[in-house]
Structure 1
Amino acid sequence: MKIKAAIDARKESGSDIVIVARTDSRQAVSLDESLWRCRAFADAGADVLFIDALASKEEMKAFCEISPLVPKMANMLEGGGKTPILNPLELEDIGYKLVSYPLSLIGASIQAMQDSLAALRGGRIPPPRSMPSFEEIKEILGFNTYYKEEQRYATSTNQLSSQRVSSSRYSMQNSAQDDTKQRGRSPDDPIVEVITPYVYNNDGADGSRDPFSQIWSRTLRIKITGRDGFERLDVRIPAGFLEGITNIVPALGGVNIKALLDDAADEVGGKQLLDFIDTMGDRIQVFLE
């Protein structure tokens, strides 16, 4: 009844659903019962037949001999099932047309992850040959195809830059539209709210001049250029406003900006503090102005 209902549903929907009829009666009842049920499935119109937990090659051959025009499916539950584990060529010789190896990929993945974690825990890194290169990973996951599509639909540098800033990890929240109207600017103009803390005293406790206090009058310019040459971010913030800077550019998390500013506090004019390529291939530049 279920097989006929599935066939009727397929016809009514006009879909190309493949109906696989399965029985678990080999272990629950007997081999003869499971073979009888599969003949009934075939007569009802099933596209594929499957008996779970056949116990030997002989039983598998007996299964493939019934309803010869209907494809048979095998389930090779690696290391845990009752059915003998055979390779695809052996199964084809018996008469199977479809086969599932449900644990092969996930098992290999788990073992690889465990080996890598064991290496890291032991103070080592996994050998390069044990994994694809970064470029190979990007190719496998489709990053390179995505980059090509991105270039295809890029109409201008400014447009692409605007799209990326709004969606990338370096994005910053724009002010509300009502606020832009009050300031006399277009809602489409990028807005960066800058809060400058008030400095009460520029002198140290002993009356000496604190070099870092001069930084409040300077500006940090953070510029990010994507690996494809398009500008992703170009923003200026008060140089003394260090807390939260990594929320704007996470890649600066391991850089001691405070020390760089201390060294440059007394210098006149602009100075480039940083210029490096991050792990994503983006160029990050930080200037003191």
Structure 2
Amino acid sequence: MGWRKAIPKWLLAPPPLRKIFCPAKKLRLILDSPGVHQGPACFDALSALLVQRAGFDYCFTSGMYFDFRFRKAKLGLPDTGFISYGEMVDQGQQITQAVSIPVIGDADNGYGNPMNVKRTVKGYIRAGFAGIILEDQVSPKACGHTRNRKVVSREEAIMRIKAAVDAREETGSDIVIVARTDSRQAVSLDESLWRSRAFADAGADVVFIDALASEREMKSFCEVLPLVPKMANMLEGGGKTPILTPFELEELGYKLVAYPLSLMGYVIRAMQDSLAAIKGGRIPPPGSMPSFEEIKDILGFNTYYEEEKRYAISSGQMARQRASSNVYGIQQRTPDDTEQRSKSPQDPVVEVITPEVYSSYGADNSRGPFSGIWSRTLRVKITGRDGFEKLDVRIPAGFLDGITNIVPALGGVNIKELLDDAAGELGGKLLLDFNDTVGDRIQVFLE
């Protein structure tokens, strides 16, 4: 078993799952590398793509952003825990599929008890997240750096992290578990430090105390379990935690730093400015927005056009394909079927024939029961005695002359008489079902 321990779990997973686990491996490499690492929060696939194009190593999804998109935009509701597990997973999957950098997903309080936490972690793994943030707030939760935050008991908070670790083990994933506590504002600094230690002991990979109130508190946090990576939250625009530079955060001992509002804040202001310009009879001035060519490049149009050329079909190729198709729609045979047919000289040979078209009128020019023949189809099916299908062909019922060239075993059978007898039947009627001299089953259906 020693060799298995030396290989990352994501490499031991079945090939279809390796792509899911690779992002977690990338995130762990970031955690193992020196320095502090910045991660802006994104809110959709496009913003995540822009984060990647800007050269960042990873990004976050923010519950605040998603609440804004799904709830504020639709229902006029604030970020107070209205967003659901399903909405986070659906949006997260779109984001992770759009980028190659690792994405850490905000899972709030896991959407319930420890059993819900397990389901949440497994869902985030399937969605392609590299990491997951789990907090110890009660339900409904409150937005970070706002009032009225309450936390669950120590025991339940620890069980949430243990459930997350179990979910990771059960799936064979290597997803990074970021354990967040909101107990600094809900209880005290000492309580938040105690919970951070307990979360690390329970198996969390990264610990995070939200809304620390001073640089001294941030330093005290980083001195707890110095070998466990710490995460800082730089809430732009005025939160409880002081805004420090990446260099200052690294000096304190932080490994990850999140910027939750920068992108959304600028998007809001840019939309306000653009709408004001349009309402005033103008368009946004040059330089205030990308050119149309830049927008197409960012959205992937140029990449799409280049890839499209690989699959382009010339008009000559299309004509040859149409010419090679069988007018009767006879199914393609596998190599095994072809070999079987070559071994049996009595198998039917399909030929293109010039059929005799029976008149739809009787001798007295009156329509008879056979007059609707053009609207009917004969299906001829041959199944070999070995169980392999040899032929399955549909022929207009009026094209009867030469049918024995297709199926010699039908020689001597009066197909027209059978059709006359079944003229009033609905489609799907079995006209013939017998075995020929070599044991093949011949079936003729009227459709």
TM normalised by structure 1 equals 0.53
Aligned with 1:50 (options 184, 202, 208)? 208
Distance of aligned partners of 1:66 and 1:123 in 2 relative to their CA distance in 1, 3 Å threshold: same
The aligned counterpart of 1:200 is none
* Aligned AA (2:219): K
After superposition, what is the alpha-carbon deviation per residue over 1:37-95, rounded to whole angstroms, capped at 9, x for unaligned?
10111111210101111000000011011111111111122224211122322222221
The aligned counterpart of 1:124 is 282
Structure with the greater alpha carbon radius of gyration: 2
1:114-263 to 2 correspondences below 5 Å: 114-157=272-315
Match of 1:81, SS state, is coil
Displacement, 1:157? 4.8
After superposition, what is the alpha-carbon deviation per residue over 1:105-128, rounded to whole angstroms, capped at 9, x for unaligned?
011111111111111222222111
Distance 1:146 1:105 in 2: 26
Match of 1:128, SS state, is coil
Matched, 1:90 2:248: yes
Match of 2:269, SS state, is helix
* Aligned AA (2:258): S
Match of 2:176, SS state, is coil
Distance of aligned partners of 1:152 and 1:68 in 2 relative to their CA distance in 1, 3 Å threshold: same
The aligned counterpart of 1:72 is 230
The aligned counterpart of 1:23 is 181
Distance of aligned partners of 1:61 and 1:122 in 2 relative to their CA distance in 1, 3 Å threshold: same
* Aligned AA (2:195): R
Displacement, 1:104? 0.2
Distance 2:316 2:275 in 1: 43
Distance 2:219 2:186 in 1: 20
* Aligned AA (2:160): K
The aligned counterpart of 2:259 is 101
* Aligned AA (2:224): I
Unmatched runs of 5 consecutive residues or more in structure 2: 1-158, 319-373, 376-447
Distance 2:198 2:316 in 1: 66
Which structure 1 residue ranges, 4+ long, deviate > 4 Å from structure 2? Answer: 157-160
* Aligned AA (2:213): A
Displacement, 1:3? 1.6
Match of 1:130, SS state, is coil
Distance 2:287 2:225 in 1: 48
* Aligned AA (2:279): R
Distance of aligned partners of 1:66 and 1:120 in 2 relative to their CA distance in 1, 3 Å threshold: same
* Aligned AA (2:271): M
Matched, 1:113 2:277: no
Distance of aligned partners of 1:159 and 1:130 in 2 relative to their CA distance in 1, 3 Å threshold: farther
* Aligned AA (1:102): P
Match of 2:179, SS state, is strand
Q: How many residues align?
A: 162
* Aligned AA (2:235): L
* Aligned AA (1:93): E
* Aligned AA (1:121): K
Unmatched runs of 5 consecutive residues or more in structure 1: 161-180, 183-289
Distance 2:230 2:309 in 1: 47
Distance of aligned partners of 1:158 and 1:92 in 2 relative to their CA distance in 1, 3 Å threshold: farther
Matched, 1:36 2:205: no
Match of 1:6, SS state, is helix
Match of 1:129, SS state, is coil
Match of 2:174, SS state, is coil
After superposition, what is the alpha-carbon deviation per residue over 1:144-169, rounded to whole angstroms, capped at 9, x for unaligned?
10111111111225999xxxxxxxxx
Match of 2:313, SS state, is coil
Tell me how large the CA RMSD over aligned residues is: 2.0
Aligned with 1:13 (options 143, 164, 171)? 171
Distance 2:255 2:239 in 1: 20
* Aligned AA (1:20): V
The aligned counterpart of 1:238 is none
Distance of aligned partners of 1:159 and 1:148 in 2 relative to their CA distance in 1, 3 Å threshold: farther
* Aligned AA (1:31): L
Distance 1:95 1:7 in 2: 25
Distance 2:313 2:246 in 1: 50
The aligned counterpart of 2:160 is 2
